Structure 1
């Protein structure tokens, strides 16, 4: 696990608990996750997790896991972050999703933006920042170099308690050239959340994935990058790797994002397995009067098959995390497109395994009373169904990533 060592050098006092270990951080998440199970219905009704949950996350240090130590963060690395996200998702998929996609982008900022921007963005220590990949809105450059943005950006998981927002828009280039994407990060003071824009979906109703609107929002020029986050080339180094001395702030951004998908899928499936285990212990087998499900051969098989599939997915995502970290440690040139797409291919298989464990074994054999609206397995089934409509999975992981892996391997260039 990469951790920067420049705290003393820069005279920065680490906020919170300097002695807290990554293992203790994950244990905190597991303990909190247990309290989230009974609050899933209220989270869905509200469309985001409660303020007291947010405060508990803040006190636990969850919003500083990926923030550089230089700015008062914990800088534990993506392994700790992903384990925390998995644990929270196991307790409540919506809460885990909202937390994960809210804090994950601390890594993006710490890797890609320069020292001046990072010092301003991370000034408060805690960092929650939803992001969208679809360009939207309009941007006009001011004489002073700032950008004035107008528009609406949808699907911003983590927005209710956000400190910032990362979006993309299209900006004009030289005359005769098509517009190009620009990535920007906007402070909370420059945008408004649209609360009524989420909650009617099939699943992940409590993920806080609201729309964000900007009316003449001002973003400083050094808070923008002339690229799209999915197209960033880190193979020649990043500002963050040089600034913090931490290889993880120079890792592949696209592969990091898809590892989030895999970790969330594992967390959801583990939650369904927990619920199924309770049913195994508390209920009788069908057509086997007074025989506990734990002693019924069919239920033993269904549980064991699902447990094995989910455990395989968990092992694969933990290995993908380790591969990502190992690649970072090898240096910027090691972050190749082929390696990023191979990690993406692993993540697709993880999500597929977890989904099929729930869809084929846990959901259909739990019993009709256990899949009524609001029951835990029913909720996970809805959430994972919704997950499958997410463009990151349905379009990128399922199709594009496979082609890009083959093209990278065989050196095939796009013709256009």
Structure 2
């Protein structure tokens, strides 16, 4: 599978560190780090996030810039490549992959919905930017001249450990109005918020290394150009596209947000399935069956069947996930030709991403439940994969059955919550 790299000629305000870096080279860097991520995973779980050293390695590799516009020093790779990147990082450690994803995929929203003024400010002079976004509007944005005073506490801010910014959703009147409160996505630099010490060290069943700490903001001024109406899931496409499309001339930045949101959650699960498959294969090659005739487990028809099933599920999961990202990009190019890229297309690619996660979760279930009691011991990589996937399955984004009805309602032109 080859990733998509969008070649858009736009003015460069921030130099691209490696202008000729290809999708394949980016993916290869993640693959090369796999053993290092495996070794670091237990400490990351205890700490609550990956180390400063790994953060430096990820920065140098350009992972945070994968979706960032080339105009501002990014590589502007496609969603298919991005999903492959996060899958490969998660193949080493799902928690690390989850954290890198949710620290970097919201660049997509900054590049799609925020003004040129905002993007110039946020991406700065060197282009280094990573920012989790918490969608739940658990804060307030009180209007003042020139902007808002923002306060609140947001939990589950995955990727916050090494973030340069935080995107808080707070309730306040839309910019330039005195109307009723609407959700606003407010971008704050690191010095304007407090990261609470409430993640890792066994605080949750899984995904302990994701840097999903809570964030508190106490009456901080946010200028109005850094506070955009958060209606990204079901917005009506403006004539001429989003501010980001008009600025970057790349249909990836048309801002349809369901594919990237659900695909970003699915990619670590797909990576976890591949990690679990590695551990299971090692067990089959090195351990014997427990009952006569005692043979290596890789010679046992039972273990062969279980391995073959899980391998098929994991391979299918990756193919479906990457196809969802490629489909989104194709829909954007179709919009350039026809002006048609609605919620219906985004919903279907979301459904594909969710199915990828379900396939991967089924693979991990099969491998863990047939891996023997040793797989459940503390320190087992297979156990960690199982816990991380179990934690994902509690997320609202994993409840595919809730979305099937929404998908159908969109298809039939009926109002629905997305």
Q: Quick check: 1:235–1:334 contact (8 Å CA) kept in 2?
A: no
CA shift in 2, pair 1:197/1:274, >3 Å: closer
Q: Distance in 2 between matches of 1:226 and 1:269?
A: 37
Q: Which residue of structure 2 aligns with residue 306 of structure 1?
A: 310
CA shift in 2, pair 1:317/1:166, >3 Å: same
SS in 2 for 1:233: coil
Q: Which residue of structure 2 aligns with residue 348 of structure 1?
A: 354
Q: Quick check: 1:273–1:362 contact (8 Å CA) kept in 2?
A: yes
Picking from 206, 218, 242, the partner of 1:215 is 218
SS in 2 for 1:304: helix
TM-score (norm 2): 0.93
Picking from 201, 204, 207, the partner of 1:204 is 207
Q: Distance in 2 between matches of 1:11 and 1:67?
A: 12
Task: Structure 2: state its 5+ residue gaps.
Answer: none
Q: Which residue of structure 1 aligns with residue 377 of structure 2?
A: 372
Q: Describe the superposition over 1:301-345 as per-residue Cα deviations: whole angstroms up to 9, x where unpaired.
A: 000011111111111111111111100111164321221211122
CA shift in 2, pair 1:325/1:11, >3 Å: closer
Q: Which residue of structure 1 aligns with residue 247 of structure 2?
A: 243
Q: Distance in 2 between matches of 1:409 and 1:196?
A: 41
Q: Describe the superposition over 1:268-304 as per-residue Cα deviations: whole angstroms up to 9, x where unpaired.
A: 1111111101101111123135400111100000000
Q: Which residue of structure 2 aligns with residue 31 of structure 1?
A: 32
Shift of 1:213: 0.7
Q: Which residue of structure 1 aligns with residue 115 of structure 2?
A: 114
Q: Quick check: 2:98–2:265 contact (8 Å CA) kept in 1?
A: no
Q: Which residue of structure 1 aligns with residue 63 of structure 2?
A: 62
Q: Which residue of structure 2 aligns with residue 228 of structure 1?
A: 231
Q: Quick check: 1:146–1:221 contact (8 Å CA) kept in 2?
A: yes
Q: Quick check: 1:309–1:357 contact (8 Å CA) kept in 2?
A: yes
Equivalenced residues, count: 407
Shift of 1:159: 0.4
Q: Which residue of structure 1 aligns with residue 135 of structure 2?
A: 133
Cα RMSD (Å) of the superposition?
1.9
Q: Quick check: 2:81–2:322 contact (8 Å CA) kept in 1?
A: no
The structure richer in helix per residue is 1
TM-score (norm 1): 0.93
Report matched runs for 1:13-412 at 5 Å.
14-123=15-124, 124-143=126-145, 145-172=146-173, 178-199=180-201, 200-234=203-237, 236=239, 237-331=241-335, 333-359=339-365, 361-394=366-399, 397-399=400-402, 401-412=403-414
Q: Distance in 2 between matches of 1:117 and 1:242?
A: 14
SS in 2 for 1:160: coil
> Which segment drifts farther, 71-80 or 292-301?
71-80
Task: Structure 1: state its 5+ residue gaps.
Answer: none
Shift of 1:235: 5.9
Q: Distance in 1 between matches of 2:153 and 2:187?
A: 14
Q: Distance in 2 between matches of 1:301 and 1:369?
A: 20
Shift of 1:189: 2.1
Q: Distance in 2 between matches of 1:281 and 1:294?
A: 6
Q: Quick check: 1:276–1:362 contact (8 Å CA) kept in 2?
A: yes
Q: Quick check: 2:46–2:200 contact (8 Å CA) kept in 1?
A: no
